[in-house]
Amino acid sequence: MSAATILVVDDEAVQLETLAGYLIKQGHDVVKAAGGREGLEAVRSRNVDLVLTDVRMPDLDGLAFLGEIKKCNPETGVIVMTAFGSVQDAVEAMKAGAADYIQKPIDLDQLDLVLKKTLERRFLVRENRRLREMLDARKEFSQILAASPAMEEVLGLAGRAAASKVTVLIRGESGTGKEVLARAIHLAGPRREKPFIAVNLAAFPEPLVESELFGHEKGAFTGADRQRKGRFELADGGTLFIDEVGDIPAPVQAKLLRVLQERRFERIGGGRTLESDVRVIAATHRDLEEAIRGGRFREDLFYRLNVIVIRIPPLRERKEEIPLFVDHLLRKFAEEESKPVLSVTAAAMDRLMKHDYPGNVRELENMLQRAVVMAREESIRPEDLLSSAVNINSVSSSNSLTQKVEDLEIQCIREAMEKFHDHQTRAAEWLGLSERHLRYKLKKYGMK
């Protein structure tokens, strides 16, 4: 029989000491309580594997004590000790959730058998719960396509991270699926029933970043016509995914560091300190170490975020997964467009496999979505992929490389803005840019 932490509860001092002494000799860690109320305090203050308790006690009878134990921890095994012939007490205890009973005077051999059976049962319950959690986690991560050793390693690390409470930093290029992985980590963890709130800091003008994270009071600044809760409040009890954390303005970094350390913050313009129980998952495509050396990112904040690090490799490093993505995405877009599922010719697949995908999975997704819309036959051909990309023939005939690149940028931006009806946030995401960068490009090319 494996050793366990056992709470022995009995108002008879001799019986209490005798049982405790015997269990200690058997290698168990024993906690003693001289009555039900004292035993209840012990259950509430520490983890115990099993409780051995008398039924008849003057301060809190065994059945009431049993009920309180089950409220604190339903998995704790409880064995009740009843006087010889008190079968009714034993029956009532078993109905109330006791694992077993033993009659006084205690037969030590019988006690050993009952303890062994109860502890084995508790172990099986724990193991079944652990396996269920593992299967649930695997189910969530099974939604992420992976066929490369690199991505299998990513999912394995993410699965282990899901069960913890610590901060996770997901690193990778734009378009690799950082938010998808963050959401899977949330859904596979103990906070799955609580909110998952995502915020992309690059999508907001610098003055609004602090308000997005921490909220503001009415009148805190020009335009603050009402109180507004920030993402930390909205995510209370759940997970806050902070995308592009490397873009956070320097003045806000100190406040983020404080909430990670103390779980407390104030809204802008507010004097009341708020608390938020939030698990933070951050992501960035930036070189944070370089930003630290350049004085743009706080080193102490970096180490707070850098507890568990998961790097998602770019698509060009896991090209064996491209056929999986192609099959999945063609089915998805066919359903969205109410069209039959298209096949891909060998020549088109060859073109897809040879491309380097600077925009990663998001770029592949965009290419295939346009191809599904533009294809005129039942198969996607290389020319369909070309038509879904930039029209090279419309690019300036200038010999200047700079001019050619700018013409390509203008055409891509114009296409995105038309597709999303001038919605800059969605257009920027589609292009794989931050919204701030897109606004800069629009201004540079006189497109706004």
| DSSP of 94-155 | HHTT-SEEEESSPPHHHHHHHHHHHHHHHHHHHHHHHHHHHHHHHHHHTTS---SHHHHHHH
pLDDT score recorded for residue 301? 95
Q: φ, ψ for residue 30 (rounded to 5)?
A: -115, 135
List the one residue out of 187, 203, 293, 287 whose CA is nearest residue 242: 203
pLDDT score recorded for residue 8? 92
pLDDT score recorded for residue 234? 93
Answer whether 4's CB lies under 8 Å from 50's CB: yes
Preceding omega of 149 cis (within 30 degrees of 0): no
| Amino acid (1-letter code) at residue 440 | Y
User: Using CA atoms, how far apart are residues 253 and 103, in angstroms rounded to an integer?
Assistant: 64
- 353 token code pair: 């496999």
Q: φ, ψ for residue 255 (rounded to 5)?
A: -70, -35
Residue 326 exposed, middle or buried by CB count within 10 Å (0-12, 13-18, 19+): buried
User: Using CA atoms, how far apart are residues 134 and 143, in angstroms rounded to an integer?
Assistant: 15
Answer whether 155's CB lies under 8 Å from 268's CB: no
Residue 439 exposed, middle or buried by CB count within 10 Å (0-12, 13-18, 19+): middle
Q: Tell me the whole-structure pTM to 2 decimals.
A: 0.58
- CB under 8 Å to 166, separation ≥6 — which residues? 307, 308
- 109 token code pair: 């051999």
pLDDT score recorded for residue 135? 46
- 327 token code pair: 């099959």
Answer whether 326's CB lies under 8 Å from 284's CB: no
3-state secondary structure of 253: helix
- 427 token code pair: 């257009």
3-state secondary structure of 426: helix
Helices (H), 204-276: 206-214, 231-234, 250-262
Q: φ, ψ for residue 66 (rounded to 5)?
A: -60, -45
Q: φ, ψ for residue 28 (rounded to 5)?
A: -85, 155
pLDDT score recorded for residue 130? 56
Q: Could you tell me the maximum CA-CA distance found in the chain, to the nearest angstrom?
A: 103
- CB under 8 Å to 296, separation ≥6 — which residues? 250
DSSP line for 128-141: HHHHHHHHHHHHHH
Beta bridge partners of 78: 51
Alpha carbon 107 to its chain's center: 50
pLDDT score recorded for residue 309? 96
pLDDT score recorded for residue 397? 47
Ramachandran area for residue 360 (φ above 0: left; ψ -120 to 50: alpha; else beta): left
| Domains of the chain, earliest start first | 5-129 (3.40.50.2300), 151-313 (3.40.50.300), 314-389 (1.10.8.60), 392-448 (1.10.10.60)
What string of pLDDT tens digits covers the 448 residues of the chain?
567 889 999 888 898 999 999 999 988 889 999 888 888 888 888 888 899 988 888 777 777 888 888 887 777 888 888 876 667 777 887 877 888 888 888 888 888 998 888 888 777 766 656 545 554 545 556 567 777 888 888 888 888 898 888 999 999 998 898 998 999 999 888 898 899 999 988 778 888 899 999 999 998 888 888 898 999 999 999 999 999 999 899 889 999 999 999 999 999 998 889 988 999 999 999 999 999 999 999 999 999 999 999 999 999 999 998 998 898 889 888 888 888 888 899 988 988 998 888 888 988 988 888 888 877 788 888 877 753 434 434 444 445 566 667 767 787 887 788 777 778 888 888 887 888 888 888 877 776 6
| Amino acid (1-letter code) at residue 290 | E
pLDDT score recorded for residue 388? 40
3-state secondary structure of 447: coil
